[in-house]
Structure 1
């Protein structure tokens, strides 16, 4: 999950920018609502209850964050998640990141991702984005090859990963829709050579960089052998004690064992 938080914070300083060469960490870098959403999901997976209640509770704990929340989510959270609002935004996708670590096979991961999305992001594209994000991280954590990840996600979700990164980067435009974000974030990972390169490629698309890089960072953390220690330390220092404790508990509960490739299939 720390890789996704890193992506969120790094991307926050470069929204809408197709910058090619940039400092990963600046004075403007900060975690955003994406991190709160992921921690809310981790909280639910650890302690149970209801997804809507967990998202609303964390919103109540962190109502005034840098960059704020989108208005639709804020209004929904204030009602304690009383009714889904048919959202197809990408924030429903990024909050599915922790789900990839909490279940033993791809079928269970996708079913749980649908549950997490449906309490608010019950639009078909909202659900699809959450499922694809969780599935990509599960497969990466299971040590599936990039070719296998690409083929499975194409088969399940109809994505097109045959386009080159350069072509996508030139044509990509800012969007907060799951349909425009998740496929692009996965493609940035597929064309990367290591964790840092994955983050840079996600940011350089010139879109909703914090969400693109959070999703890409979540996949890259699961796939690549290590995240640079200096970046891990920086990300950790940005979190408060309660957030750090939750991540420690989540790692102790779910991240000790890596799923085997032969357990990928439903």
Structure 2
């Protein structure tokens, strides 16, 4: 999931100041984590320790109430409800927080089921569920060494996303889009078109739009595909930017199960 967090941090400064090129600095003095990273780590914490996912997410939201860019209006209200209920959202929040699920299970069926579980506590609209499942599935397939063409065909067939566009075709007219259906396919395309982990992040951000979430989703998938290729200095940068309590969960997740196997040589 560290690839998702890296994407979020790199994209954070471009969310409201879009850049339509791959040529930009990865970090600046303003780079920070957003709600994408906080809720990704909340899901990882829940996978590791169990409990009520809604309460875990609310706990993180209350502990970190003012991330860069803030929380979306409906989600912010949900975080403060005594008895939180799903609100039929089709927003991309379900996809940006799901990356740990793609690492945690040994079967695609369980991955899809738990991805849906992480979505429906807020995003119980079919598109919100689909976005989370497509993202988690792409990560699961990547870490199981499926080819990009296999991943493209599976996602298109299963979720009815059009992944036969290019970033150059998308970029000129693409604008901020908070929906899963207007974010997840574009993020997956950035991954499919990339030639490295960093290139996936740069391509996603170059599209414009909801830059941190695009790069969060693309980065989560790219991490699992480009094995051992995330430079160590980028991982250390995440450590310096995250709060110690957040980084502690990241480290715990990295030492667990499949993730530990994947990162054993890092």
TM-score class normalised by the smaller sequence? over 0.9
Indicate which of 225, 244, 248 corresponds to 2:247. 244
In the alignment, is the contact (CA less than 8 A) between 1:132 and 1:157 conserved in 2?
A: yes
TM value normalised by structure 2:
0.94
C-alpha distance after superposition, 1:59-83 (max 9, x if no partner):
0111122221111111111014521
Tell me the SS of whatever aligns to 1:180: coil
- 1:60 is aligned to 62
Give 2:99's aligned residue. Answer: 97
Q: Which of 128, 146, 171 does residue 126 from structure 1 map onto?
A: 128
Between stretches 165-174 and 123-132, larger displacement belongs to 165-174
Structure 1 residue ranges, 4+ long, deviating more than 4 angstroms after superposition: none
Note the C-alpha offset of 1:109: 0.5
Unaligned 5+ residue runs, structure 1?
Answer: 259-266
| Structure 2 spans left out of the alignment, 5+ residues | none
CA–CA distance in 1 between the matches of 2:82 and 2:69? Answer: 22
Q: 2:233 aligns with which of 230, 233, 256?
A: 230
Partner residue of 1:3?
Answer: 3
Partner in structure 2 of residue 212 of structure 1: 214
TM-score by length of structure 1 reads 0.94
Tell me which of 256, 259, 265 is aligned to 2:260.
256
Instruction: Kindly indicate whether the alpha-carbon contact (under 8 Å) linking 1:56 and 1:80 is maintained by their aligned counterparts in 2.
Output: no
Find the aligned partners of 1:203 and 1:215 in 2 and give their Cα distance: 11
> Contact 2:89 / 2:124 at 8 angstroms: preserved in 1?
yes
Aligned counterparts of 2:77 and 2:128: Cα–Cα separation in 1: 18
The equivalent residue for 1:264 is: none
107 and 80 in structure 1: CA distance in 2 versus 1, 3 angstrom threshold: farther
- Say if 1:65 and 1:163 are closer, same or farther in 2 by CA, change over 3 A: closer
Q: Is the 8 A contact 1:125 1:178 kept in 2?
A: yes
Is residue 12–residue 68 contact of structure 2 (8 Å, CA) maintained in 1? Answer: no
When residues 210 and 80 of structure 1 are mapped into structure 2, their CA distance, relative to the original with a 3 A threshold, is: farther
Say whether 1:188 aligns with 2:198: no
**Pair 1:36–1:186, CA change in 2 (3 A):** same
Q: Secondary structure at 2:89's aligned position in 1?
A: coil
On the 8 A contact 1:81/1:120 being kept in 2, the answer is: no
Distance in 2, Cα, partners of 1:81 & 1:28 = 35
Output the CA distance in 2 between the equivalents of 1:174 and 1:152: 27
Secondary structure class of the residue paired with 2:254: helix
**Contact 1:203–1:212 at 8 Å: present in 2 too?**
yes
Higher mean alpha-carbon deviation, 194-203 vs 72-81, is at: 72-81
